[in-house]
Every structure is written in structure tokens, then in C-alpha cells.
Structure 1
Amino acid sequence: MKELLGLAMLRGVRRVNERTVLVEFSQPMEITSTVPALVVGGDFTDYVEGLIFYTVPKNFEEGDMLSFYEEILRSTDLKRGIVFITAVPIDKLRHIALDGNLHIFATIGLSPPTCIKTSNLYEPLTISTINIAIAVNYPLTRSAMIDLLRVVAEAKAIATSDSLLRCESRSSGTVTDAIAILKPFNMGNEILFAGMNTTIGNKVAKAVHKMIIAEAVAREINDVLKDVLGHNIEELVELFLKVYRQSPIPGVPENAIREEACKLLKQFFRDPNVWSFLIASRELDLHGSSGTIPGLSEEEFAEDSKKIVADELLGMSLATYLAGSKAVLSMYWVEKLKESRVVEHWKSNMFEDDIISALIASLLTRILDEYM
């Protein structure tokens, strides 16, 4: 990474080694952060000279994080600073200079997601997957800095929700995210607010949202499918084959059927209309999980209440779109096999299980049409 010079608040951005990037400021910076700001050999501090982004393995464990942070600070000769720990490769550090007065540094990893209904509760970890540092050259009060930190958290939550990161309920980020807001230490305190509807706050919110969405849409198709539908292409093919084996086509090798199913699914998932059905089902499941479908309680949703027929109608519409009216009859058969537990997607949520049935039925119909 080339050193960036001539930026009002920055002395430079330097890649120290394959794991470490050092962001140095041209003056002491007051900081409000969700990670501790430290003085080497001392205590916590309210101002820093720089930031460090440090990559660790995904299975990273450290018993004494404060000592670990101090060791990293010493290795870069930074006396006062904060350390962002991430499993994201350091060459993926993003830097956006919105103008000479506002800079955003971020590493963006999208797993593991966190949500209110998560069943995996544990002591707070220290590996941050979405790390965001905002350096501003504006005279923010301490409360305005906190206001801007809130804006970053909100924009991050909106972006991860829009990305449909898969969790037991709607995701607001990943399990170890971290945010820091910085401004020159000797600057005044004239700006009282920096919420999302302020000029500064809205500019930051749009930039943060755009950065996270860019990372989300760049994911591999199987990663997106796992988030939106709970199954990737290979898993969907295996579900289809369990149905197909109930009545296989004589004389046709199963490997040929497998290859055709995989080819068709890849074709399906190049169509934004298909994705519209998938996203609609995921959004409906998220609303059902939170009890925000009027007339349907969380308990009724969890029990797949029979008073809801919109899930079947959504699935039938997708099957019809992909393979015509015959696919609706195929879907009826798949649903019967699902109810008898022949295929495992009965474990899926209320709406997505019918979307999976529709995809299987469409594969079955298209393949039978081709071979018979």
C-alpha cells in the first residue's frame, strides 16, 4: 500500500508488514471508540497518534488482550493508539477520502453475523470483522462524536440487514465489530450534533452503507445463497436428487442428472426475477420471526401455521415462472415428500421451504421434459 501524503489530518498510511497497516496522524487526535485507546507502558487515553489494522487467523485466541495490543503498538513505534484486530486480509483495508476533512478507514468481513435471537452467546471476542474508523476535521463536541459513532453503527446495521446476512433473526452486523471516531485534539467544540440527517452524519452514513454493500454483492453466489436461502447450489442438488431417486429415469446415469440439475440451478440464479422470489421469502421469514406480520404471532410462525397460504402461493408462482404449470404438480409431490421427511428442507423456515420445494420441482419438471 502506497503511503498517502498531503492529507490535512494524516501524516501517512503505511503497510508495515504482511499483517499490519499503520495510519499516522499529523497531530494528536481525540477519540471515541468501542475499542480501548492505549498508551504504551501506561493506561487508557482519550487521544491517539495513530491507528493500527492488524490481521490475525480466524481461530485467533488471546488471554491478555491489553498486553497484546501494547505489543503491536510497540512493534510500530506508536506510543498512543488503538489496534483493530481483523481476520480480513490487510490488503483489503479500504480508505475513502470524502474530502480533505473526512476520511474513512475500514476492513469489512461479513461473518459470523450477529442478531438479537442468536443462540451462540459467549464472552465478548476481540477479533473485529467490520472495523470502521472515521477521522473528521470538524469541531465536534464529545456528544457529537458519540452521535457520529451511533450513525456509523446504524448505517452498518442497515447495510448488513440489506445484505440479508443469515442469523436466527435480522442481522445488525458481525459478532466483533468495532468503530472509532477521531478529530484533532486541539480543535474547538462548536458542532453539537452529527446524526444521520446532518450534513456530516449523512455523508458518513452513505459512505459506510455503500462500502458494506459493495462487499456483500461481491460475494460468491454460494455465499449469497447460504445467507438468503440457507442452502448453496451443491446442497440444493442433493435435495433434488433425494426426490429424483423416488422415481428415476430408466437408463440415464445419475451423474448426468446431477450435472444437468447443477447447470439449471446456475441458470436460474442468473435471473434477477428468481432472486426477487428468494429475497421476498427471506424477508417474510424475518418478519415472521419478529412477529411483524399482522395477524401472525411469532409462535404461529414458528409452528408453520396452516392459516398462512402465502408461502405455498409464493412457491407455486416461482415454479410456474421457471418451468410452467406442470411444475406446480411436481411441487405438490415434493411437498408431500417434504411432509414425510424424505427431504430435509422441512426444517427450513415457513416461506423459504416452499421456495426450495419450487426450485426442486422446477428442476424435476425441466429435466423430465428434456429426457422424456
Structure 2
Amino acid sequence: METKFDNLSLLKYLEDHGVTLTDLIDTAMELYIPHPPIETREQAIELFTAGFYEVLTDQNVAVLEVACFRAEEDGQAGIIPLLPVEQFRGRPGLIVDELLGMTIANYIAGARGVFEFIRYDQAKPGILRKLGPIANDAIGGLIAGVSSRIYSGSLEKQKLLALEKK
């Protein structure tokens, strides 16, 4: 059965690099904490799915994600000037990977997205554990941005509904 996700070029790009929509949702759900107004896993999955669709259709998100994955490939190949492959893979290593992830989260959801990125970066749930140093932060930023946006949006909607009842 065809879905609206079938023709998303950014999702296809991510799939070609080992990241599926299921990976994104499962990883997001590993840090899911039920609280009003998103109280059930089913609600959260539905909102995450809609949120991922929205960001996966944004050309600016596409540019940021592709740039990160290209940098990951170049780093693994040892062709980034001033960055030997051993340092790319080792610790202490880069700080720019976190900056890239924060930039993606910030673009999607602002300062709240950056705060959420820190949670995902520290925990490294799901697919984030399997990706390289730049790619994991690129995907972490994407997930954190969507997570922050759906929670903030749901809270705003709840506040508006409460005001309408008054």
C-alpha cells in the first residue's frame, strides 16, 4: 500500500544511508515520556509520524542532512583537510558534529529543540548508536527538533482549548 512517505526524496536518501522512518520513530519513542496532552504511545507515534513528514519535506532540512552525511563519508574516508581518520573516529574528537546536530534541531524547533537535542545526544537511543559521529548528530537533531515541536505544539493547542472553554 502506497503512503505519503513513498515519494519523499530526503527519506529515500536517508534510507540509502541506513536510516528508515521506522528507525526515526522507534528512536524518538525510546525517550518518549507520557504527559499531557500526549499521554499514550499511540498518540505519540501518530504525532511523530506527522512531524517527520513535515520536516522531511523541507528543503532546508534536506540540505543540512545531506551536508552532514557527506561530511560523514569524507571523514570516514580521511579526506577532510586537517582531520586524520583516526581523530575523526576517536575521542576526544570533533565538536562540530554536535554543532551541526544543534543547528538542525534549532532550525526545526528553536531553543527548545536544542535542549531536546542534548537529551538525545547524551542517551544515544536507537539508530543513533549505529551511526557515525556526524550522522548520529544529524539524525539526533532531526528527531529532537520533531520531538520538541510536537510537544510544544500539543501544549499550545491544549492551552488554546482551555482558553476557549472559559
> TM-score, normalized by length of structure 2?
0.80
Matched, 1:308 2:84: no
Aligned CA RMSD, in angstroms, stands at: 2.0
Q: After superposition, give the CA deviation of every residue in 1:205-227 in whole Å (9 maximum; x if it has no partner).
A: xxxxxxxxxxxxx9764432212
1:242 maps to which of 12, 30, 33: 30
Q: Report 1:76-87 matches (<5 A).
A: none
* Counterpart position of 1:317: 103
Tell me if the contact between 1:337 and 1:343 (Cα under 8 Å) persists in the aligned partners: no
Tell me if the contact between 1:285 and 1:350 (Cα under 8 Å) persists in the aligned partners: yes
Q: Report 1:97-246 matches (<5 A).
A: 221=9, 222-228=11-17, 230-244=18-32
What are the ranges of 5 or more consecutive residues in structure 1 without an aligned counterpart?
1-217
Highest Rg: 1 or 2? 1
Tell me if the contact between 1:243 and 1:343 (Cα under 8 Å) persists in the aligned partners: no
Q: After superposition, give the CA deviation of every residue in 1:90-130 in whole Å (9 maximum; x if it has no partner).
A: xxxxxxxxxxxxxxxxxxxxxxxxxxxxxxxxxxxxxxxxx
Aligned AA for 2:100? L
Q: After superposition, give the CA deviation of every residue in 1:32-76 in whole Å (9 maximum; x if it has no partner).
A: xxxxxxxxxxxxxxxxxxxxxxxxxxxxxxxxxxxxxxxxxxxxx
Write the distance in 1 (CA, Å) between the matches of 2:92 and 2:66.
22
Write the distance in 1 (CA, Å) between the matches of 2:121 and 2:134.
13
Write the distance in 2 (CA, Å) between the matches of 1:324 and 1:219.
28
* Counterpart position of 2:53: 266
Q: After superposition, give the CA deviation of every residue in 1:279-314 in whole Å (9 maximum; x if it has no partner).
A: 1011101110111112211122223x4331111111
Q: After superposition, give the CA deviation of every residue in 1:131-158 in whole Å (9 maximum; x if it has no partner).
A: xxxxxxxxxxxxxxxxxxxxxxxxxxxx
| SS at 1:231 equivalent | coil
* Counterpart position of 1:275: 62
1:220 to 1:363, Cα distance in 2 relative to 1, 3 A: closer
What are the ranges of 5 or more consecutive residues in structure 2 without an aligned counterpart?
1-5, 156-166
* Counterpart position of 1:357: 140
Measure how far apart 1:253 and its partner are: 1.9
Q: After superposition, give the CA deviation of every residue in 1:330-362 in whole Å (9 maximum; x if it has no partner).
A: 111111111xxx434122011110011111211
1:270 to 1:344, Cα distance in 2 relative to 1, 3 A: closer
Tell me if the contact between 1:234 and 1:262 (Cα under 8 Å) persists in the aligned partners: no
* Counterpart position of 2:3: none
Aligned length: 148
Return the structure number with greater helix share: 2
Higher RCO, 1 vs 2 (CA within 8 Å, ≥6 residues apart): 2
Write the distance in 1 (CA, Å) between the matches of 2:84 and 2:52.
34
* Counterpart position of 1:286: 73
| SS at 2:35 equivalent | coil
Write the distance in 2 (CA, Å) between the matches of 1:354 and 1:286.
14
Q: Which moved more, 1:232-241 or 1:250-259?
A: 250-259
Return the structure number with greater strand share: 1
